Every structure is written in structure tokens, then in C-alpha cells.
Chain A
Amino acid sequence: MLSSNAEKIYWLSRYIERAENTARLVNVNFDLLLDIPHDSVSDFIHLVEITSDLEQFNSILLDEKMFYSSSVSAVKNVVLNFVIYNSDNLGSISYSLEMAKYNSRYLRTMLPKTAWEQFNKLHAEFSLSNKENHNTEVLHQIIRNSKTFFSTISDAMHRDHVFDFIKLGRFIERADMLSRIIEDQILRKDAKIPKYYENLQWMSILKSVNGFESFKKINKGELRRSNVLDFMVKLKEFPRSIIFCINRLIAVTKYLPKSENLKLKLIKIKKQAAKLNEKSTDKQILAILDLLQLSLIDLHIEIEEKFFNRGPV
């Protein structure tokens, strides 16, 4: 497989997964705000903080002061537009999909035809979606289309290196985004949300990863922070837990050439994540997540050096 193609397929996969997870993140916040009756303006701004760059956001506002004192629905529209549609915003869904589209142009020869058509559909439907009318349908559409894209890949694709790099990109991105979703909820606790709503928060985060039903099956009625964290970080059977992602990555290394070092790094990450337990304080949890994110960046650099930059020897 060409080094340059490995790089493009890896990024295509990462950007689609990123678009999907950003959609999930926006969606869960959107959902939550319907339930929490308090200062929602700052909650929407919080959405900007966790997905994008607040400074950049402020720079697009005509009048900052006036904006922050305007009505919730006005703020909501500006924020959602920024997070979903503003392709100058590197954290927006639009940017991720444009980058995915850019990479996909090179990859027609590598993807199954059905997957290629599904990606075109994903991109086209997003481009055609109504930018004025902010309901969550566009988010659901992205999640749905991205899922269909990846299931088409699993269903129709020849198991070769292309498949391996799709997985590599997808699960690194997912682990990273999961850690951010959790981090977001922990940090939120600092904000002035009444204790009463805390469970609601953890419930919607579970929903955002399609994990509510399986969580219930395992934990029965009991919904506590520690339970949810354990589920989302350490449950190896659940496809949107961090450990699940790391295990999948370890499994991929088996098929990649000269990947011993990569595997060692992954095993180390797994050990770090396993440190999380019932007694972990917020500070400890944040430190673990922080380390995880840094390790994932390190992992990416390793992949880049090993596979993407293969020049003359």
C-alpha cells in the first residue's frame, strides 16, 4: 500500500468519526439544555469551548457585549451555526467533512463502491441541509450516515491494509473524542448546576454514545457517576468505551508491518486507563484523561513516522 494513501485513508476515517462524534457532543448538550432550567447562554458558550476555539468564536461576533446579553435562542443559533457549519472553525462538523471529502477524492480506488457512494451521500446531505433552521435532524443525519458508511466498510470491504488504516484512524479518533466528552462532563460539575441535575447529565452522556440501554442492562437502576465512568472507560464489551477502542487498535497492529513499538505504546495506554476506579477524584480523573490524550497524540506521531513518511533509503 502506498504511504500517501495510507495517510489519506487514515485521515478520511478520522474526520468522518470526528464529524460523527462532534454531532453526538452537540446533540447531547442540546438535549440537556432542554431539561436544565438555568443560565443557558453560558451553556451554549460551553459548547463552543469544548468543540472549538472561543477566541475565534468571539472574533466573528459583530458586537461581543450585545451578543452575550441577547436572547437564548439568538445565542443558540449563532453557536450552532459556528459549531456545525462554519468551515473556518477547525472544530466544526463542516470542516471535518470538507477534510474528509478532500481525502476521499484520492481514495476512489481504495474504497468499495458502496462505501464511496455512502460517503458522497453523507457529504451531499450535509451540504444540502438547511443552515437556517437549527434542529437536531442534521446531527442525527450525520450520525446515521457515518454509521452506515462504517458498516458498509465492515460489511463489504476486503480485509487489507486499507481496512487496517480505516480502523486505526477511527478508533484513535473515537478514544480521543470519548475522553473529551467525559472531560466535558467532569468540568461541567464545577459550573453552577444543581446537584439534582447531575444524574440527568450522566444519563444524556450515555445516550450520546448509544450506551444507555446496555448500561441499564449491566447496572440495573443504579446510575452513579462512578458507574458511568467505569462503563465508558473500562467496559471492554462496549464499542464506545475507551478500552474497547484501545483493544481494537492493539488487534490492528497484528496486521501492520513492524508495529511492535506501536503495540507496546497501546498496552501502556491501556494500563493508564485502567487506573481509573470508584475512588478517583475529579482531579485524578482529569489527569488520567489528559495523559490519555497526550498518549494518543504520541501514538499518531509514531504512525506518521512508521507508515506515512517512507522516503528513499
Chain B
Amino acid sequence: MYFKLTHFIGIIIAPLELKMNKTFSYQSSIFFDEYIDSKSSPRKGYKRSIDFFHSLSPSERVYYTNLCESSISSMGVTFQLDANELQDRSWPLDLIPRIIASNQWKLIQKGLIQRVKALNYFINDVYNKQVFLEKNPVLKELVLESSNFLPECMGITPKNKVWSNICGTDLIKDDKGKFFVLEDNLRVPSGVAYMLENRNIMKRVIPDLFSSYDVNPIDDYPSQLYKCLSDASFNTKANKKIVVLTPGVFNSAYFEHSYLAQQMGVELVEASDLYVSKSNNVLMKTINGPKKVDVIYRRIDDVFVDPKVWRKDSKLGIPGIYNAWKNKKIAIVNAPGSGVADDKAVYAFVPKMIKFFLQEKPIISQVKTYVCAFKKDLDYVINNIEKLVLKPVNESGGYGILIGPQSSKSELKKYKSKILDNPRNFVAQPLIKLSTSPTLINKKIMPRHLDLRPFILSGNNSFVTQGGLTRVAMKKGSTIVNSSQGGGSKDTWIAD
């Protein structure tokens, strides 16, 4: 009885505190903000969350932040900054959630499934009949010359014609609040374990706010992943042996590898745990002797998978596994060679692929991309270079990028000549003004830029996560959201 009474008083007090905190300074800007509109009033669905965080006194903010940090460290949610050092960092989670209306998300899910389907058809076409490539000779040249194209994969068709069973697609919002696809990660996308753990931490730390929303659960991801992996095997037996292949504890994503293996109840292995027998079976060394493996969820780059075929110096791979794969004795997920489709030039052709392979119109827009291999695009890029973001086709991780509006005249001139020397090596995009969200920075609530990485699974059926991993740039004005460069994350709530 007494307990209920105090609880009741707590509810009455809250709105009073809210009024006292009306002097809050979070204002709208030229960017689209997830929480407030251009008049600085809360958007629909965001009011409860914003009220909750506004009502916190500075000491309460410290309290919640500390609680969050201690949960993260006791749950052992870590990542590594430097691959050579076994220094674990606690995962950076910002307590202010990102909220997306569930009807909006349903459409995004459809759009992502459509996109990944087309991309998988495309990869299968590249390694088989090349019909789409024949129709797009410029693309054909780009693809066949790309280092991501693995000729050894020609003639192979994985189960269900799916090459990228697990895809992480990065979405951004522009200054109008419209979703765009920024890039598709079709090789070994990471981040899903952090998405799952963010949710667990939020439930521990701010259960009251969480329960005031009707948030769609995300915790069935591991079982969906298990099913997706199981679907990839040509073996027809009921219980397939699945393993997660990790490069080892020194890898920055090792936490995720072990987390997913545990959540699926499968073995986490390193290359030294596996070998290929004379009959092309892949075997795992156990205390009971060798055991046959059906599916490998690889978390190493494809060229490291088999030192006999690709990188000869690879110690992360299993000699002979290429033959086992080719003979359908083992499923490798994602299939080697799938990286051919997350090339920046290939990205420009995705809307065309959707039309060609599915006879549909793209549901989600993507950023307008000028492929300098086309004369028309090249002319536009050269004349408008100061407005554009320039990207080399073969680089990843942000290397070699030039941001036109932020560069000096001499830098632009230098880059121009680089493009003219080898136009095929470059694409260009307009600069997108990334959306912002309130974020707790040193006890204050400040706007910070963010993106979103949902995960798309393709097996016998397709599956898209409820939301995904929201990554946030913690530095003012920065758009770099990578955790290795000081980025943080937010829990993403798909709610009615």
C-alpha cells in the first residue's frame, strides 16, 4: 500500500519538474531533426521521450549515464579501437532513443527487401550469364576490372541464387526528412550485436520510458539468422551443423562474432579448428574427433577464405574450402565474390537493376550518383565539382574522398586532373545534409548527426530487422559515425 502511494506521488511530481525545465535550449537548425520540427516543437510520437529527458535534472542525467555505463561494462559489451592491442572499450550508447513510426518502417522494410533481392539477382547474373552486364557495357567493364570481382566464382550458383544472405544497408535522412540509401554492405556487415545489446541496456536503464512506448521487439534476430544460415545449405538433413568463422580475438568485431554464435547456439571457430578432407567435406576438430560442418558464417573477407585460391598469405582461411564450396559440400555465407555489388559504381545502377530483374519501381530513393565513366556525367562533375562529394570507386572506409564545398580551389583543381586522368575510377554525389537527433553530451542535450543500419536476411524468405543500429557522430558538426572514430550509437525504436 505504501509502495503504491510513493509511486503515485512520483507521477504527480514529474509534470511540475517539467515546467521548471522549460528554459530548455534545444533549437531547430538547417538540418532535419528527428525530435523537433522547424518551429522547435516536438514531432508526433517524440513528445514523451523528449519530456522525459527534459525533466531530468543534471544529477539525474549523470545518474542515468553512469547506470548505462556500468550496465555496458558488466554485460561486457566491448569493441576494440586498435586491432593490434587487446584493449577493450566499452560500447558507446546514447540514452536518447531514435523513434520511427511503424507504418513508415513497414514501407522501408519492403524497399530494403526489394533492393537486396535485385542486388542478389545481379551478383548471380555477373557470375553466370551476364545478361544485365551485356545491356550496360560501361558497367560491364567496371565490374570485370574491379578487384571485388572474383573470376573463380564464375559458373557457381549458391542456394536460392542468394549471394549476400546477410546485408547491412546504410540509410540516411536528408534535410527534408526523407530516407535515402547511402550504401549497401554485402560482404561482412557488422553492428547487429550492438543493436541487440543496446536494447537490453535501455530496458535495464530506462524501463519506464521504454514501456510507455509500444516498441516492436528485436530479439528474434538470432533465430532468424540461424534459419537464414540453415537455408543456405544444399544439404537436406534437418539439423545442419552451422559455425561462425572469426579471424580471432584480435578482430575489432570479435565481440559480435562470439555474441551471435552464442545467441544462435552454434560453435564459434577459427580457421585452425577446421580442415577439408580428401572427399571435400569440411570438418571441425572436436574432443570426440572430426565433425562435419554444413554452413560457415564467415566473418572474414572473401579473399582470405581459401589461401590455395585467393590470398596466398592468408592464415585466417581454410585451404581447400573453395573446392568444397564449389561442390556444394559447404555453404559459405556470405558467398565469396558477393562484394562485387557493393562497389560505388555498381550502386549507381541499383535502380536499373530493380527495374530489370523485378520489373518494379524502387521503393526507397538513393543518392543521385554521377559515374564519371559516362561522358555526360563526367562533364557535369567537372563543371560542378565544388558542389559535389567525390569518391574513388575502389576505395572504402572513406579513403580518398573529396568534399567539394569544404575544399580549397587548389585542392579542387588537383582532384579535377585526377578525375580526367582516369574518369572510370570516380563517382560523385551531391552533399546530403544529414539529419540530427538530440544526444546527451556532457550532461547537455545537443543535436548530433546520425545514420541507420538495418540488416536484411535472405534465405528461403526475406527478413528485415525492426529498425537497426543507429550510429551517431558525437562531435559537433561531424558526420563520421564509425565507432572506431569516436562515433556512438542509439537504440532504435519502431513504435506506433
A residues whose Cβ falls under 8 Å from a Cβ of B: 1-6, 102, 105-106, 108-110, 113, 116-117, 120-121, 124, 161, 256-257, 307, 310-313
- The digit string for B289-303, where 1 denotes a CB below 8 A from any CB of A, is 110000000000000
Distance to closest chain A CB from B272 (angstroms): 7
* B286, A108: Cβ atoms closer than 8 Å: no
Count the A-B residue pairs with Cβ separation under 8 angstroms: how many? Answer: 68
Distance to closest chain B CB from A246 (angstroms): 22
Question: Given contacts A1-B288, A2-B269, A257-B287, could you give 13 more A-B pairs where the C-beta distance is less than 8 Å?
Answer: A4-B269, A6-B287, A102-B249, A105-B254, A108-B258, A109-B262, A109-B267, A110-B262, A307-B287, A310-B286, A312-B277, A312-B283, A313-B290
Query: Bound state CA distance, A4 and B268, in angstroms?
Result: 11
Task: Find the A residue at minimum CB distance from B254.
Answer: A105
Given the known inter-chain contacts A109-B261, A120-B76, A312-B275, please indicate yes or no for A256 contacting B287, CB distance below 8 A: yes
* B287, A161: Cβ atoms closer than 8 Å: yes
With a cutoff of 8 Å between Cβ atoms, the chain B residues found around residue A105 in the complex are 86, 249, 254
Asked whether any CB of chain A lies closer than 8 Å to the CB of B327, the reply is no
In the A-B complex, the 3 residue pairs with the smallest Cβ-Cβ separation, listed nearest first, are A109-B262, A108-B258, A105-B249
Distance to closest chain A CB from B75 (angstroms): 7
Among A102, A113, A307, A310, max chain B CB count under 10 A is at A310
With a cutoff of 8 Å between Cβ atoms, the chain A residues found around residue B73 in the complex are 120, 124
8 A Cβ contacts from B71-124 to A: 73-76, 86
Task: Find the A residue at minimum CB distance from B291.
Answer: A2
With a cutoff of 8 Å between Cβ atoms, the chain B residues found around residue A108 in the complex are 76, 255, 258-259, 262
* B287, A310: Cβ atoms closer than 8 Å: yes
Query: Bound state CA distance, A121 and B73, in angstroms?
Result: 9
* B286, A117: Cβ atoms closer than 8 Å: no
Query: Bound state CA distance, A279 and B177, in angstroms?
Result: 89
* B249, A3: Cβ atoms closer than 8 Å: no
* A313, B262: Cβ atoms closer than 8 Å: no
- The digit string for B253-279, where 1 denotes a CB below 8 A from any CB of A, is 011001101100001111011010100
Task: Find the B residue at minimum CB distance from A108.
Answer: B258
Query: Bound state CA distance, A196 and B496, in angstroms?
Result: 80
Asked whether any CB of chain A lies closer than 8 Å to the CB of B284, the reply is yes
Query: Bound state CA distance, A257 and B289, in angstroms?
Result: 10
Question: Which of B74, B255, B283, B290 contacts A120 (CB under 8 A)?
Answer: B74
B residues whose Cβ falls under 8 Å from a Cβ of A: 73-76, 86, 249, 254-255, 258-259, 261-262, 267-270, 272-273, 275, 277, 283-290
* B262, A310: Cβ atoms closer than 8 Å: no
Given the known inter-chain contacts A124-B73, A312-B275, please indicate yes or no for A106 contacting B286, CB distance below 8 A: no
Distance to closest chain A CB from B448 (angstroms): 30
With a cutoff of 8 Å between Cβ atoms, the chain A residues found around residue B74 in the complex are 117, 120-121
Query: Bound state CA distance, A119 and B407, in angstroms?
Result: 51
Task: Find the A residue at minimum CB distance from B260.
Answer: A109
* A4, B285: Cβ atoms closer than 8 Å: yes
Question: Which of B261, B267, B269, B290 contacts A310 (CB under 8 A)?
Answer: B290
With a cutoff of 8 Å between Cβ atoms, the chain B residues found around residue A110 in the complex are 262
Query: Bound state CA distance, A110 and B268, in angstroms?
Result: 10
Distance to closest chain B CB from A110 (angstroms): 8
* A3, B259: Cβ atoms closer than 8 Å: no
Query: Bound state CA distance, A205 and B254, in angstroms?
Result: 43
Given the known inter-chain contacts A109-B268, A120-B73, A120-B76, please indicate yes or no for A310 contacting B258, CB distance below 8 A: no
* B270, A1: Cβ atoms closer than 8 Å: no
Task: Give 8 pairs: A residue, B residue, CB < 8 Å, sorted on A.
Answer: A2-B285, A2-B287, A4-B285, A102-B86, A102-B249, A108-B259, A311-B285, A313-B290
* B76, A310: Cβ atoms closer than 8 Å: no
With a cutoff of 8 Å between Cβ atoms, the chain A residues found around residue B273 in the complex are 2-4
With a cutoff of 8 Å between Cβ atoms, the chain A residues found around residue B255 in the complex are 108
Task: Find the B residue at minimum CB distance from A4.
Answer: B273
With a cutoff of 8 Å between Cβ atoms, the chain A residues found around residue B86 in the complex are 102, 105
With a cutoff of 8 Å between Cβ atoms, the chain B residues found around residue A256 in the complex are 287
Query: Bound state CA distance, A312 and B272, in angstroms?
Result: 11
Query: Bound state CA distance, A307 and B286, in angstroms?
Result: 8
Query: Bound state CA distance, A5 and B262, in angstroms?
Result: 13
Query: Bound state CA distance, A110 and B263, in angstroms?
Result: 11
Distance to closest chain A CB from B225 (angstroms): 14
Given the known inter-chain contacts A161-B287, A256-B287, A310-B290, please indicate yes or no for A4 contacting B258, CB distance below 8 A: no
Question: Which of B75, B76, B254, B285 contacts A3 (CB under 8 A)?
Answer: B285
* B249, A310: Cβ atoms closer than 8 Å: no
Query: Bound state CA distance, A120 and B73, in angstroms?
Result: 8
With a cutoff of 8 Å between Cβ atoms, the chain A residues found around residue B254 in the complex are 105
* A116, B76: Cβ atoms closer than 8 Å: yes
Among B76, B287, B288, max chain A CB count under 10 A is at B287
* B287, A1: Cβ atoms closer than 8 Å: yes
Distance to closest chain B CB from A217 (angstroms): 39
Task: Find the A residue at minimum CB distance from B289.
Answer: A310
With a cutoff of 8 Å between Cβ atoms, the chain A residues found around residue B284 in the complex are 2
Among A2, A4, A102, A257, max chain B CB count under 10 A is at A2
Query: Bound state CA distance, A52 and B76, in angstroms?
Result: 32
* A2, B267: Cβ atoms closer than 8 Å: yes
Query: Bound state CA distance, A3 and B269, in angstroms?
Result: 10
With a cutoff of 8 Å between Cβ atoms, the chain A residues found around residue B287 in the complex are 1-3, 6, 161, 256-257, 307, 310
Query: Bound state CA distance, A311 and B284, in angstroms?
Result: 9
With a cutoff of 8 Å between Cβ atoms, the chain B residues found around residue A307 in the complex are 287
Distance to closest chain B CB from A115 (angstroms): 11
Distance to closest chain A CB from B276 (angstroms): 9
Question: Which of B261, B270, B288, B290 contacts A4 (CB under 8 A)?
Answer: B270
Distance to closest chain A CB from B233 (angstroms): 20
With a cutoff of 8 Å between Cβ atoms, the chain A residues found around residue B268 in the complex are 106, 109
* A109, B290: Cβ atoms closer than 8 Å: no
With a cutoff of 8 Å between Cβ atoms, the chain B residues found around residue A120 in the complex are 73-74, 76
Distance to closest chain A CB from B329 (angstroms): 16
With a cutoff of 8 Å between Cβ atoms, the chain B residues found around residue A161 in the complex are 287
Distance to closest chain B CB from A307 (angstroms): 4
Task: Find the A residue at minimum CB distance from B268.
Answer: A109
Task: Find the B residue at minimum CB distance from A98.
Answer: B86
Task: Find the A residue at minimum CB distance from B250.
Answer: A105
Among B269, B273, B275, B285, max chain A CB count under 10 A is at B285
Distance to closest chain B CB from A286 (angstroms): 36
With a cutoff of 8 Å between Cβ atoms, the chain B residues found around residue A1 in the complex are 286-288
Distance to closest chain A CB from B318 (angstroms): 12
With a cutoff of 8 Å between Cβ atoms, the chain A residues found around residue B272 in the complex are 4
Task: Find the A residue at minimum CB distance from B278.
Answer: A312
With a cutoff of 8 Å between Cβ atoms, the chain A residues found around residue B261 in the complex are 109
Query: Bound state CA distance, A113 and B259, in angstroms?
Result: 11
Query: Bound state CA distance, A4 and B267, in angstroms?
Result: 11
Query: Bound state CA distance, A96 and B459, in angstroms?
Result: 45
With a cutoff of 8 Å between Cβ atoms, the chain B residues found around residue A257 in the complex are 287-288
With a cutoff of 8 Å between Cβ atoms, the chain A residues found around residue B288 in the complex are 1, 257
Task: Find the A residue at minimum CB distance from B288.
Answer: A257
Task: Find the B residue at minimum CB distance from A113.
Answer: B75
Query: Bound state CA distance, A181 and B41, in angstroms?
Result: 71
Query: Bound state CA distance, A256 and B286, in angstroms?
Result: 12
Query: Bound state CA distance, A59 and B473, in angstroms?
Result: 50
Distance to closest chain A CB from B285 (angstroms): 4
With a cutoff of 8 Å between Cβ atoms, the chain B residues found around residue A312 in the complex are 275, 277, 283, 290
Distance to closest chain B CB from A263 (angstroms): 16
Query: Bound state CA distance, A110 and B269, in angstroms?
Result: 12
